[in-house]
Amino acid sequence: MPHRWTRSGAAAVGAACVAVAAGCTAAATPAVTVTAERFAGALARHDGPAACAMLTGDARGSTESFGRDCAAQLATLPDPGPVQQVEVWSDAAQVRFAADTVFLLRFPDGWRVGAAACAPRGDAPYDCQVQG
């Protein structure tokens, strides 16, 4: 099921996280940051295969629909720049870079990128070039 990348949805997840355990975001923040920085590094190097390997299955599938190649598409995305802000809500996270916003989801094997090349649109959902 595709995720909607909205501010209100993130806030609801965040509220649930706070209700369950006050420290749940602090423990996950380093792992989210490392994953996001690895993804950003792959984009900066135009290393499409490495960037695709960090996507969720749904996000990778959406980039490969209609005969498109995930690696080729991600290799054309610009360098997102340095991390500016990290927010974690239980099993979901948002990382704001200087020139991009990326959303991540936690899986049993670690964090994966569920949406990238995302631009905010006020109160509307983010407009993401890569999403699943």
Q: Which tens digit of pLDDT belongs to each residue from 8-24?
A: 444 434 433 443 444 44
- Mean predicted confidence (pLDDT) in 57-82: 92
Does 44 reside within a domain? yes
State how many domains the chain has.
1
Print the domain residue range for 110: 7-131
- 89 Cβ contact partners less than 8 Å away, ≥ 6 residues apart: 10, 13, 14, 16, 17, 25
Question: Do residues 51 and 115 make contact, with C-beta atoms less than 8 angstroms apart?
Answer: no
Amino acid at 75: A
Average pLDDT over residues 48-75: 93
Which tokens belong to 7?
Answer: 């501010």
- What pLDDT, on a 0 to 100 scale, did the predictor assign at position 20? 40
How far is residue 128's CA from residue 44's CA, in Å, rounded to a whole number? 18
Confidence at residue 19, expressed as pLDDT on a 0 to 100 scale: 38
Choose between 126 and 13: higher pLDDT: 126
Output the pTM of the full model: 0.80
Residue closest to 103 by CA, chosen among 74, 131, 68: 131
Q: Where are the alpha helices (DSSP H) in the chain?
A: 7-20, 24-44, 48-53, 57-63, 70-75
CATH code of the domain covering residue 44: 3.10.450
Please tell me the distance from the alpha carbon of residue 125 to that of residue 121, in angstroms, as a whole number. Answer: 7
Return the pLDDT at 118.
95
pLDDT tens string 89-108: 999 999 999 999 999 999 99
Domain assignment of residue 79, yes or no: yes
